[in-house]
C-alpha cells in the first residue's frame, strides 16, 4: 500500500491542540488555514463506485457521500457512477487500483460476481468498504466491512404493519390480492424485500397475484403496474420495493380511474413502499395515497467516513454494521411494529410535516 501521512490535516490539528493545552493555555479552535494550504499528498484518496442515479434515494445517498469526502475533511474523492451496470463498477474498481487509491468504497448493484475484482484489490493491499447493498463472495476477507440496511427485516416490518392494519379493519386475509413490484433483480435490496414479502404473505395467507420487475425506477414501476393491471385486475394491494416505483404505480392506477388509499373494502388500492426520503413520496403518504413506507436510510456518508477514520487510526471496524430504521405511515392506528425481537416505531407523516 502506498505510504501517506495518516489523515494529516486532522492529525496536525490534534497535535497543535495538545501543544497549546500543555503550554497552559485554555482550549480554543485551531485555525487550520485556508483550504489551499492542504497539500495533495496529505489527502486520503477514496474511490467510490456508486450504483447509478436510478432513484430519489440514490441521489440523496450520493450527496451524503460527497458531503463528507471533501478536501476540508482531508479527502480526495474519485466518484464513479456505474449507471446500474456491474461491468462499469468492475472497470471503476480496476481504475481505482491503478491509481493507487487509499480506500475503495463500493455500493454494489448486485450481490454476486465480485470475487475476481475484489481479490485484485486485496492483492494491491487496498481496503474495500461495502456500503448499502451486500456482496456475496466466497471469502469474506475480500472486503473490510459493510454498512447498510437489513432489507429482509424492512420487508417483514412493512408486511407486519399491513397485517396489523387488516386485522384492525376486519379484513380477511383471503380478501388480500397483492402484487410485488420488485427492485433490480439480484440486488440485496430486492432479494431481502422480496423474501420478507414472500415469507410473510405465505404466513398470513394473502393471495400473491404477481411479482413484476421495476428496477427501482419510476418508469419501470409504471410499466410493471400496467402489466399487473392487465393480467390481475383484482389486485387491491401493491407492495413496491421503493418509492420511485410507488410513484410510478400511483400514476398508472390513477390514470386507470382507481383511487390509491387504505380503504380496500371500498375499492381503493393500497400502496406500500420503501425509502421515505423523497418529498413526493412523503407528500403521497400525507395525502393517504401511500399507506406505509419502510424506512431505508440513505445517509451513509458519515458512517463510511467514520469507518475510514477508525482504520486510519489503526483500529478495527466491525464487519457488519446494520442501520436501525423505522416506518412512516399516514395513520397513527399502529404506533409500533415488532418482529424477531426488533421493535420499530411508526412515524405519522401529515401535511404539516412537508
Ligand atoms: O439499495 C437501496 C435501494 O436502492 C433503495 O431502496 C432504492 O431506492 C435504491 O435504488
Residues 185 and 334 in one domain: yes
Distance 30 CA to ligand 1 centre (A): 40
Task: Report the atom number in ligand 1 closest to the C-alpha of 188.
Answer: 1
Backbone angles phi, psi at 198, to 5 degrees: -60, -45
In ligand 1, the atom with minimum distance to the C-alpha of 56 is 8
Other Cβ atoms within 10 Å of 179 Cβ, number: 26
291 and 309 part of one domain: no
Do residues 135 and 106 make contact, with C-beta atoms less than 8 angstroms apart?
A: yes
Nearest CA, atom 1, ligand 1 = 189
Q: Are 211 and 245 in contact (CB under 8 A)?
A: no
- Position 41 confidence tier, pLDDT thresholds 50, 70, 90: confident
Whether residue 281 sits in one domain with residue 252:
yes
**Is the pLDDT assigned to residue 3 strictly greater than 50?**
no
> Which three cell numbers, joined as nine digits, stand for 296?
431505508
- Ligand 1 center–CA 328 separation, angstroms: 16
State the distance from the centre of ligand 1 to the C-alpha of 24, rounded, in angstroms.
52
The answer on pLDDT for 34 being more than 80 is: no
Distance from the CA of 148 to the center of ligand 1, in angstroms?
11
Is residue 115, in this structure, part of any structural domain at all? yes
Identify whether 2 is part of a domain.
no
In this predicted model, which residue has the larger pLDDT, 269 or 340? 269
Q: Assess whether pLDDT exceeds 90 at residue 55.
A: yes
Across 133-152, average pLDDT: 98
**Are residue 108 and residue 208 in the same domain, yes or no?**
no
Task: Answer whether residue 229 is part of any domain.
Answer: yes
Using CB distances shorter than 6 Å, the residues near ligand 1 are: 54-55, 57-58, 132-133, 189, 216, 242, 274-275, 296
The reply to whether 241 and 181 lie within a common domain is yes
Q: How many domains does the chain have?
A: 2
Written as one string, the DSSP assignment of 95-132 is HHHHTT-SEEEE--SSSSS-HHHHHHHHHTT--EEEES
pLDDT of 15 above 90? no
Residue indicated by cell numbers 457512477:
81
Give residue 59 CA to ligand 1 midpoint distance, Å. 10
Instruction: Note whether 117 and 38 are same-domain residues.
Output: yes
**What is the per-residue pLDDT for 4?**
53
pLDDT (tens digit per residue) in 253-300: 999 999 999 999 999 999 999 999 999 999 999 999 999 999 999 999
Instruction: Give the rounded percent of residues in the chain with a pLDDT score beyond 90.
Output: 87
Choose the residue to mutate in 189, 219, 276 for probing ligand 1, maximizing ligand atoms within 8 Å of C-beta. 189
- The CA 58 to ligand 1 mean position distance, Å, reads 6
Q: Give residue 51's pLDDT.
A: 98
Sheet holding 145-148, edge to edge: 75-81, 44-50, 103-106, 128-131, 145-148, 320-322
Please tell me whether residues 182 and 198 are part of one structural domain.
yes
* Grid coordinates belonging to 284: 403521497
Judge if 220 and 99 occupy the same domain. Answer: no
The pLDDT value given to residue 30: 32
At 169 the pLDDT is 97
Decide if 4 is inside a domain. Answer: no
pLDDT at 161: 98
**Which of 81, 108, 248, 275 is the best mutation target for the ligand 1 pocket, counting ligand atoms within 8 Å of the beta carbon and taking the most?**
275
CA of 26 to the centre of ligand 1 (A): 47
* Residue 227 DSSP code: H
Atom of ligand 1 minimally distant from the CA of 296 = 6
Residues 69 and 106 both lie in one domain: yes
The answer to whether position 157 is within a domain reads: yes
Q: What is the CATH number of the domain that holds 125?
A: 3.40.50.2300
Same domain, 195 and 115: no
In a domain? residue 285: yes
Residue 212 Cα to ligand 1 middle (Å): 16
CB under 8 Å to 288, separation ≥6 — which residues?
260, 261, 262, 330
Is the residue at 1 inside a domain? no
Domain that holds residue 181: 151-296+328-348
Report the b/e string of 256-291 with b at 16+ CB within 10 A: eebebbbebeeebbbbbbbbbbbeebbbbbbbbbbb
pLDDT of residue 16: 38
For residues 225 and 156, membership in a common domain is answered with yes
**For residue 340, pLDDT beyond 90:** no
The pTM for the full model equals: 0.91
Half-sphere exposure of 352 (CA within 13 A, CB side): 1
Q: 291 and 306 in one domain?
A: no
192-239 pLDDT, tens per residue?
999 999 999 999 999 999 999 999 999 999 999 999 999 999 999 999
Q: Which atom of ligand 1 is nearest to the CA of 57?
A: 8
Amino acid at each position: 500500500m502506498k505510504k501517506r501521512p495518516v489523515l494529516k490535516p486532522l492529525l496536525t490539528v490534534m497535535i497543535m491542540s495538545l501543544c497549546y493545552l500543555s503550554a497552559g493555555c485554555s482550549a480554543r479552535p485551531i485555525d487550520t488555514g485556508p483550504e489551499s494550504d492542504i497539500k495533495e499528498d496529505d489527502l486520503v484518496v477514496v474511490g467510490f463506485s456508486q450504483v447509478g442515479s436510478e432513484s430519489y434515494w440514490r441521489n440523496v445517498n450520493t450527496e451524503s457521500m460527497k458531503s463528507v469526502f471533501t478536501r476540508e475533511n482531508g479527502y480526495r474523492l474519485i466518484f464513479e457512477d456505474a449507471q446500474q451496470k456491474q461491468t462499469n463498477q468492475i472497470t471503476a474498481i480496476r481504475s481505482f487500483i491503478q491509481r493507487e487509491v487509499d480506500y475503495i468504497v463500493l455500493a454494489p448493484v448486485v450481490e454476486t460476481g465480485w470475487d475476481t475484482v475484489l481479490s485484485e484489490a486485496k492483492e494491491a493491499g487496498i481496503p474495500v468498504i461495502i456500503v448499502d447493498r451486500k456482496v456475496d463472495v466466497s471469502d469474506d476477507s475480500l472486503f473490510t466491512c459493510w454498512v447498510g440496511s437489513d432489507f429482509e427485516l424492512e420487508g417483514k416490518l412493512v408486511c407486519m404493519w399491513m397485517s396489523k392494519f387488516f386485522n384492525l379493519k376486519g379484513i380477511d386475509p383471503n380478501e388480500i390480492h397483492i402484487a410485488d413490484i420488485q427492485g433490480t433483480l439480484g440486488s440485496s435490496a430486492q432479494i431481502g424485500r422480496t423474501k420478507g414479502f414472500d415469507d410473510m404473505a405465505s404466513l398470513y395467507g394473502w393471495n400473491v397475484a404477481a411479482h413484476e420487475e421495476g428496477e427501482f425506477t419510476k418508469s419501470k414501476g409504471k410499466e410493471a403496474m400496467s402489466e399487473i393491471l392487465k393480467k390481475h385486475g383484482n389486485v387491491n394491494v401493491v407492495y413496491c420495493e421503493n418509492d420511485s416505483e410507488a410513484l410510478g404505480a400511483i400514476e398508472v392506477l390513477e390514470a386507470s380511474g382507481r383511487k390509491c388509499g387504505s380503504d380496500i373494502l371500498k375499492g381503493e388500492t393500497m400502496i406500500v413502499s420503501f425509502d421515505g426520503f423523497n418529498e413526493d413520496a412523503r407528500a403521497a403518504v400525507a395525502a393517504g395515497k401511500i399507506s406505509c413506507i419502510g424506512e431505508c436510510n440513505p445517509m451513509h456518508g458519515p458512517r463510511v467516513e467514520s469507518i475510514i477514520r477508525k482504520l486510519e487510526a489503526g483500529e478495527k471496524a466491525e464487519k457488519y454494521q446494520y442501520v436501525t430504521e423505522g416506518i412512516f405511515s399516514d395513520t397513527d392506528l399502529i404506533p409500533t411494529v415488532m418482529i424477531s425481537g426488533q421493535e420499530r416505531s411508526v412515524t405519522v407523516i401529515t401535511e404539516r410535516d412537508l
